Chain A
Amino acid sequence: MSGRISRAGLLVILAFLVPVIVEFRTLAALFGVSLSVGQYLVAVTGLVMAVLLAVGAWNLRAGTTADDHTGGA
């Protein structure tokens, strides 16, 4: 089990999400899903929330008292 994801790690994860967010409509179109601007905003907000929840769940699993042996991750 790896250590907790720090705020710096979360920042980088969110940065990696930016290209996905920017081209989310293109990505959806590849699967034949056409999104309006409103639907797009809801979808990417949901995506960001899902990632934040996943990170939170990961950190809970890793244990709040565990040493952060990642040296900064």
Chain B
Amino acid sequence: MTNEELPGEELFLDRFPDEAQVVRASLWSAFVALGIGALAGIVQALHRVGYVRFIDSADYYTVLTLHGVLLVISFTIFFLVGLFTWAVTRSLDRPVENIRFTWAWYLTMVAGTVLAGVAILGGFVDSIPISADVLFTFYAPLQAHPLFYAGLAVFIIGTWLAGFDWFRSWWIWRSENDGRIPLQTFMVLTSMLMWYIATIGVAISVVFFLLPWSLGIIDQVNPLLTRTLFWYFGHPVVYFWLMPAYLLWYTVLPSISGGRLFSDPLARVVFVLFLILSTPVGIHHQYLDPGIAEGFKFIAMTNTMFLLLPSLLTAFTVVASMEHGARQRGGEGYLSWLGALPWRDPAFTGMALAGLMFAAGGFSGMVNAGMNINYLIHNTLWVPGHFHLTVGTAVALTFMAATYWLLPQLTRRRLYSRTIGLFQVVMWFVGMVLMSNAMHRAGLVGIPRRTAEPQYDGFAFDAGLSSVAELDAQVAIGGTLLFVSVVLFLGNLIISLLEDPMEGTVDRSLPPALSGPEDSPEVLDNLSLWVAIALLLVLLAYSLPIGAIVADGGLFGPGTESYPVVLSWLEVVT
């Protein structure tokens, strides 16, 4: 039996009770992180704009680190491992091979999160000599307590083990079945292969440099090297967040729309493209870094622009699938079919709005990726504005919306209130429109990111038609709406779980694609080939720049210096 034939009337919970338990635990871990991260988010938003300031500005960076790490590492990846466990189990229609191993990787990830979380929270207590105010971008020269780095390492090891678990399921399935890799499993495997390649950078950075440095085993590191290794991981991690959202858009959203996926082959092409193109692009985060030759930055820009292709393919395929669903529901006309979509369903509306916001995020991402225009917005509030559209909405809103769809099959509970769910996803959309719009606008006039005090004495930013006060108000209102939206989401879920179990079942079958796997070239399933190409591209993009960085600044520093070097040279000649 394949994923297409899995009976829809049987709940996942009934068919795979042990796996459902792991999925629930993973999702709840994600939602705990979401709740705490959202709280940190509203605190920092209101502090930064100066509306409510009950923390010291020095603690802003602890709050910012908590917000970033909990939301983009813990929330996203815990949700991902839960979703991927669900997807592999249901699409292969087989339980995991060893549930103890499955629990082991989950608990490893929990342990990593606790270690890193304790290190971050220690920053609030002066009497405890532990802190990790290094933000999500945890490269040198900022240094965290060793617990933080150890926690991150343990967390990533947990994800590696999870990937092995899913690969093992597939290997055994393959030995018993002929035919193509079921689509959801294909998406999980390609995502994990990309993750294995991408995490090499952060693993080297943490294990060989940052952790020994924080333990005092080595005196110094090469900051540019740790930055480059971080961004080697730091951009593909964006796609690691996105790929589960894509999995949902490709395999679940068409079904909720009332139709079928337009093209299985296109979906496979998109995931292959993400596998091979996600990693050799990280240097586009370092356009302003001295010590990396412009040519290597140009290569990174070119690779990044190629990454638009899978996103554009996705836009086409997902919208075509939605249109197919709408027409099955009686929709007509060139655009009138939009009205036939199930807008009352928060799962649909949330995912659709998330996809729409992702398009906007893609446009601002093109600005980030362009070498010349990036200089305009580098390190300004534009950048958080961008990633609040991508990970903060395309990913987060899709995950919340998908939870509404997953809830009955994982818990045997119906959603307490679809109306609250609908308001919640729309509120997220509106809140993010306000907040990210203001952030983009603020970035365009040069207002910096990563600071509690964006105002300067004797200087005022010219916000054009509006004013900085107006932008601040948008950030505050938007941030508040987002926080309320998270509260509504979590409240709706908790009340749902307190309700009595439902009788009967719900249909959660996923119909086959209009153009199925039989239409796609078999080479797409040749994972070894794509991994080889991905590694080759990584080698081409990174070997020479990293070689130059090490040659210039040494493996363990001192880092490449520009400004002080010029000064000392001037001192010599004068």
Spell out A's residues near B (CB within 8 Å): 2-3, 5-6, 8-9, 11-12, 15, 18-19, 22-23, 25-26, 29, 69-73
Contacts and interface: CB of A to CB of B under 8 A. Distances in A.
Given A2-B331, A12-B343, A12-B349, 10 more contacts: A2-B337, A2-B339, A3-B330, A12-B426, A18-B429, A22-B433, A23-B437, A69-B340, A70-B341, A70-B343
A14 to B, nearest CB: 8
Contacts of A12: 343, 349, 353, 426
Given A2-B332, A15-B429, A29-B465, A22 B434 contact: yes
B344 to A, nearest CB: 3
Contacts of A3: 330, 339-340
Contact of B340 (A2, A26, A29): A2
Nearest to A13: B343
Contacts of B353: 12, 15
B340 A22 contact: no
| Complex A-B, nearest 3 residue pairs according to Cβ-Cβ distance, in ascending order | A72-B344, A8-B344, A2-B336
A72 B343 contact: yes
Contacts of A19: 433, 437
B434 A18 contact: yes
A2 B338 CA distance: 10
A25 B471 CA distance: 13
A69 B330 contact: yes
A5 B423 CA distance: 17
Interface residues of B, number: 30
Contact of B339 (A23, A25, A73): A73
Given A9-B339, A71-B329, A26 B465 contact: yes
Interface of B: 258, 329-333, 336-345, 349, 353, 422-423, 426, 429-430, 433-434, 437, 464-466, 474
A62 B105 CA distance: 55
Given A5-B339, A11-B426, A29-B465, A18 B433 contact: yes
Contacts of A2: 331-333, 336-337, 339-340
B430 A18 contact: yes
Contacts of B337: 2
10 contacts: A5-B339, A6-B344, A8-B349, A18-B433, A22-B437, A69-B330, A69-B340, A70-B330, A70-B340, A73-B343
A61 to B, nearest CB: 12
Contacts of B464: 26
A11 B340 contact: no
B433 A73 contact: no
B426 A73 contact: no
Contacts of A72: 342-345
Contacts of A8: 343-344, 349, 422
Contacts of B336: 2
A19 B441 CA distance: 13
A25 B466 contact: yes
A22 B338 CA distance: 24
Given A2-B332, A19-B433, A22-B474, A73 B341 contact: yes
A71 B339 contact: no
Contacts of B345: 72
A11 B423 CA distance: 8
Contacts of B329: 69-71
A23 B465 CA distance: 10
A38 B258 CA distance: 45
Nearest to A67: B330
A35 to B, nearest CB: 9
Contacts of B434: 18, 22
- Residue from B332, B340, B353 having most chain A Cβ neighbours under 10 A: B340
Contacts of A70: 329-331, 339-343
Contact of B342 (A11, A18, A26, A71): A71
A18 B437 CA distance: 11
Contacts of A29: 465
Given A70-B330, A71-B258, A9 B343 contact: yes
A18 B429 CA distance: 9
A73 B466 CA distance: 36
Contacts of A11: 343, 422-423, 426
Contacts of B339: 2-3, 5, 9, 70, 73
A73 B336 CA distance: 11
A65 to B, nearest CB: 17
Contacts of B342: 70-73
Contacts of B341: 70, 73
A13 B341 CA distance: 13
B466 A15 contact: no
Contacts of B331: 2, 70
A23 B434 CA distance: 10
B391 to A, nearest CB: 20
B429 to A, nearest CB: 5
